[in-house]
Amino acid sequence: MNLPYQNSNLMSTDSVLTLTDLQFGYSLGPNLIDIPHFEIKAGESVFLRGPSGSGKSTLLGLIGGVLTPQSGKISICGKELTEISSGQRDKIRADHLGIIFQQFNLLPYIGVIQNCILPCRFSASRRNRALRSSHSVEAEAEALTSGLGLTDEDLKRKVGELSVGQQQRVAVARALIGGPDLIIADEPTSALDHDNRDRFIELLNQSREKFGSSLLFVSHDQTLASHFDRAVSLTELNQRVAA
């Protein structure tokens, strides 16, 4: 892989994500998320565990902008999302967040490189950062995918024709391109066996360290915690939600 590019020049004491008094419940239901305070610092990797149905994907949906909180604040790299327009929110997320979804959300009918460069279409700053280490975003996607173990043959195929493990690598490359400040990953290893799962997380960690990206990785599988700087439980964060 080429030399890494810097992300947003954050210091390790800076916060890439701060949640304050965040509350969310689906319509008619009780509050599922009620978090007084949660913070991730620049460069930090955090494992968030919680049983199935406890609200992990819901929390990532709030951070990723698919869901809107009933109250409270979400700050990404010091920018408060709840006080700005939805267009500005989309831009901040596109610039600063890399997202690995539970089902990857790759586009199956297009190729590996075309999937990987999608974030650079939505964010000029990620495109510009990618262009600091490669002459084109496509070349940067190739460098990332080969660093993650995808072969030239894999790159010639549509993503829908790849194995689950290969698709996971595409999802990681797409999240990493353009050095986002924070990567959020929703149980991307649930379909893997033990050895492949550990290898996948190590690959994700090595790659995101090169870019200086922070990581929030959620899973119900507590045995994964040792791969990360810090582990937290959603139940403990959710202090005011009745067990």
Ligand X SMILES: Nc1ncnc2c1ncn2[C@@H]1O[C@H](COP(=O)(O)OP(=O)(O)OP(=O)(O)O)[C@@H](O)[C@H]1O
How far apart CA 163 and CA 186 sit, in angstroms, is 19
Q: Select the span of 35-43, 50-58, 72-80, 117-125 touching ligand X (CB under 6 A).
A: 50-58
Nearest CB to ligand X, comparing residues 53 and 78: 53
Q: Which of 4, 5, 43, 50 binds ligand X (CB under 6 A)?
A: 50
**Which two tokens mark 113?**
């490189």
How far apart CA 62 and CA 22 sit, in angstroms, is 9
Round the CA-based radius of gyration of the chain to a whole number and report it: 17
Q: Helix, strand or coil for residue 236?
A: helix
Q: Which of 1, 32, 118, 231 binds ligand X (CB under 6 A)?
A: 32
**Which two tokens mark 147?**
């660093």
Nearest CB to ligand X, comparing residues 55 and 179: 55
Q: Select the span of 36-44, 53-61, 128-136, 209-217 touching ligand X (CB under 6 A).
A: 53-61
Query: Does 238 interact with Mg ion (rule: CB under 5 A)?
Result: no
Chain-centre distance of CA 209, in angstroms?
A: 13
Are 178 and 125 a contacting pair, CB within 8 Å?
yes
Q: Select the span of 41-49, 51-59, 174-182, 226-234 touching Mg ion (CB under 5 A).
A: 51-59
Binding site for ligand X (CB under 6 A): 26, 32, 50, 52-58, 220
